[in-house]
Amino acid sequence: MADLLLVDNDARIADLVAFFLRRSGHAVRTSADFGGARAAIAHARPDLMLSDLDLGEERGLVELPRLAADGLLPPTLVVSGFLDRAAQIELERLPQVVGVLAKPFDLDVLLARVAEALARARERAPTAVASAGDDGWLELAPSPESA
C-alpha cells in the first residue's frame, strides 16, 4: 500500500480515480490545486503524486518545477490530456517525474503505471548512511552513490 496524492481540478475524475486507487489498496489524498498539494506535501510527503498539468489558472509546467526548486516535489506521475512532445521533454528534466500517462486512460492501465512509477521512485530514492560521532550523536548523510 502506498500513500498517494492526486492533484486534479476535475472533481469527477479525482473522485473516480481516488475510489479506484483506494479499492486497489492505496491511501489516497486529493487536491484540486497546487496550493493544496503544497500543504498536503508539507503535512506528509506522499510516496507518489499523480498530477494533472492543466488546473485552470495553474499550469503544471510552471508549478511542478517550483515545487522541485523548493525541495517539495515528491516522485510524480503526470496524468494529463495535454501531453505533447515539448511538455514531455520539459517534464523529463525533473528527476522527480517518474512517468507520464495521457488522458483518457483505462483504469487498469493507470494502476499498472502507478506500480511502475512507485518502483521507479524506490529505485531513485536516496539512501542514507549512519555514523556515530565522538559525542555519541548519530548522523545521517546521503550515501556517496546517491549524492
Helix/strand/coil (H/E/C) assignment for every residue in 78-101:
EEECCCCHHHHHHHHCCCCEEEEE
pLDDT tens over the chain, length 147 residues: 899 999 999 999 999 999 999 999 999 999 999 999 999 999 999 999 999 999 888 899 999 999 999 999 999 999 998 888 899 899 989 999 999 999 889 999 999 999 999 999 888 766 544 455 566 555 555 544 444
> What is the set of domains in the chain, with CATH numbers?
3-142 (3.40.50.2300)
Q: What's the pTM value of the predicted model, to 2 decimals?
A: 0.82
- Contact partners, residue 32, CB within 8 Å, separation at least 6: 7, 8, 9, 11, 14, 55
Distance CA 78, CA 98 (A): 8
SS3 59: strand
